[in-house]
């Protein structure tokens, strides 16, 4: 050590800390050789605690204020080392400043989905994330259990461990709460308080406290969310009977544009349905004016008669629609039998093709099955 360094160390007798990093939790006042002048002034500001460590032992904790480092105001120091009256030489000690303000807007979240039993959906998985705030509640415990001799301890050094504690308690609390997943959004404030209280015991062992914990979002797997969207869409459909009729009309319109399975018959049927729907629209209040215009000219020709189209159920799959002519060709090719299950609009459920009224004639070209016992 040079003479200038030694002299500068002897004349410096003001110990304080101002922080502009926003993430430093503990900072050690650096002195060459850790020599602190007897009678030095220690300034501890609001939002700080001062911790004096002498010969490896935590000697004292100072709250905000101005202190003279002398034995008469440091009884712990007196018990650690004998001080002669009037002793003015530097002593070997360290001063740590602990930031006791709140560290806010810290993130937490579940890395993997949490399994739970939902009373409505059964076993399911959820994810969650949010924010929390943390502060040092006991500077001495925090120094002994977490910081040690780290001269500059930042929030990043402990945030990962705290996130793990939060996720663990969140999993336990959410699984035992019995709150349905669909109702969790309305109870995030209460769940946040429960989780904060659950981790308080562990945080006290670190000398920390979590004043606030917020749950920003609780989400389900994408497949479950898609199923919920379908369920919501069904609720918005209103009258399912009308919705079914609309779906059937859409399917028939699509079948009319399909070149397979009926050809011109389906096209004619689609045109007939389109004209019928146009007439219904003309009779509605929105189409009153166009109806008057049409009636003032020549009346439109009636739509051609619509022929039934059929759907076939085979091996767990449904195909069609097929016209009656297409069904006849399938009988000839051996692709359609009397026992094949068929359905058409207006029919009460599925039935054997032989029992369908309009299809019974297409089986006359083939003999019926032999009677039993022959």
Whether the full predicted model's pTM is greater than 0.85, yes or no, is no
Say if residue 257's pLDDT is above 50: yes
- The two beta strands, 14-15 and 41-44, are parallel
Provide the pLDDT confidence category of residue 89 given band limits of 50, 70 and 90: low
Q: Per residue in 186-217, pLDDT tens?
A: 888 888 888 999 999 999 999 999 999 999 98
Say if residue 337's pLDDT is above 90: no
CA–CA separation, 314 and 374 (whole Å): 28
Amino acid 85: pLDDT: 36
Mean pLDDT of the chain: 77
Amino acid 90: pLDDT: 58
Provide the pLDDT confidence category of residue 320 given band limits of 50, 70 and 90: confident
Q: Per residue in 216-235, pLDDT tens?
A: 988 888 888 887 777 777 66
Is residue 173 left, alpha or beta, with left meaning phi > 0 and alpha meaning psi from -120 to 50?
alpha
Better-scored residue on pLDDT, 239 or 116: 116
Say if residue 350's pLDDT is above 90: no
What is the DSSP secondary structure assignment for residue 311, as one 8-state letter?
Answer: E
Better-scored residue on pLDDT, 86 or 284: 284
For 272, counting Cβ atoms within 10 Å of its Cβ (0-12 exposed, 13-18 middle, 19+ buried), the class is: middle
CA neighbor of 91 nearest in space, from 102, 75, 100, 80? 80
Residue ranges matching CATH 3.30.479.30 in the chain: 103-225
258 touches 266 (CB < 8 A): yes
Amino acid 240: pLDDT: 62
Amino acid 182: pLDDT: 83
Provide the pLDDT confidence category of residue 27 given band limits of 50, 70 and 90: very high
Where do the H-state alpha helices sit in the chain?
A: 3-11, 75-80, 139-142, 156-177, 188-205, 222-237, 240-256, 264-283, 288-296, 324-332
CA–CA separation, 62 and 284 (whole Å): 85
Q: What is the Cα 108 distance to its own chain's centre?
A: 12
Amino acid 160: pLDDT: 92
Provide the pLDDT confidence category of residue 83 given band limits of 50, 70 and 90: very low
Better-scored residue on pLDDT, 154 or 295: 154
CA–CA separation, 312 and 318 (whole Å): 6
Say if residue 99's pLDDT is above 90: yes
Say if residue 92's pLDDT is above 90: no
Mean pLDDT across 66-86: 54
Say if residue 312's pLDDT is above 80: yes
Say if residue 152's pLDDT is above 70: yes
Is CATH 3.30.479.30 what the domain over 103-225 is classified as, yes or no? yes
């Amino acid at each position: 050590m040079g003479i200038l360094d030694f002299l500068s160390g002897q004349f410096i007798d003001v110990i304080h800390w101002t922080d502009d990093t926003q993430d430093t939790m503990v900072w050690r006042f650096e002195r060459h050789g850790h020599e602190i002048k007897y009678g030095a002034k220690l300034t501890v500001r609001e939002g700080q605690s001062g911790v004096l460590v002498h010969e490896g032992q935590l000697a004292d904790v100072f709250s905000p204020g101005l202190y003279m480092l002398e034995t008469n105001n440091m009884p712990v120091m007196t018990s650690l080392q004998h001080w002669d009256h009037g002793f003015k030489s530097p002593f070997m000690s360290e001063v740590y400043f602990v930031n006791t303000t709140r560290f806010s807007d810290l993130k937490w979240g579940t890395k993997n989905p949490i399994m739970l039993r939902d009373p409505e959906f059964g076993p399911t998985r959820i994810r969650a994330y949010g924010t929390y705030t943390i502060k040092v509640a006991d500077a001495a415990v925090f120094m002994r259990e977490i910081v040690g001799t780290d001269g500059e301890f930042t929030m990043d050094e402990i945030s990962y461990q705290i996130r793990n504690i939060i996720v663990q308690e969140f999993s336990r609390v959410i699984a035992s709460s019995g709150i349905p997943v669909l109702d969790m959004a309305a109870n995030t404030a209460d769940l946040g308080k429960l989780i904060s209280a659950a981790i308080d015991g562990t945080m006290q062992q670190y000398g920390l406290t979590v004043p606030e914990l917020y749950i920003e979002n609780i989400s389900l797997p994408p497949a479950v969310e898609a199923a919920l969207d379908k369920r919501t869409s069904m609720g918005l459909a209103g009258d399912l009977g009308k919705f079914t009729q609309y779906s059937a009309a859409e399917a028939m319109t699509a079948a009319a544009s399909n070149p397979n399975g009926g050809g011109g018959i389906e096209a004619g049927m689609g045109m007939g349905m389109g004209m019928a729907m146009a007439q219904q629209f003309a009779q509605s209040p929105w189409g009153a004016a166009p109806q008057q215009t049409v009636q003032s000219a020549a009346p439109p020709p009636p739509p051609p008669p619509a022929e039934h189209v059929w759907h076939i159920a085979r091996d767990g799959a449904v195909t069609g629609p097929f016209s009656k002519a297409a069904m006849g060709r399938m009988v000839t090719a051996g692709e359609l039998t009397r026992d094949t299950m068929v359905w058409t609009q207006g029919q009460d459920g599925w039935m054997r093709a032989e029992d369908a009224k309009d299809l019974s004639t297409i089986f006359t070209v083939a003999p019926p099955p032999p009677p039993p016992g022959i």
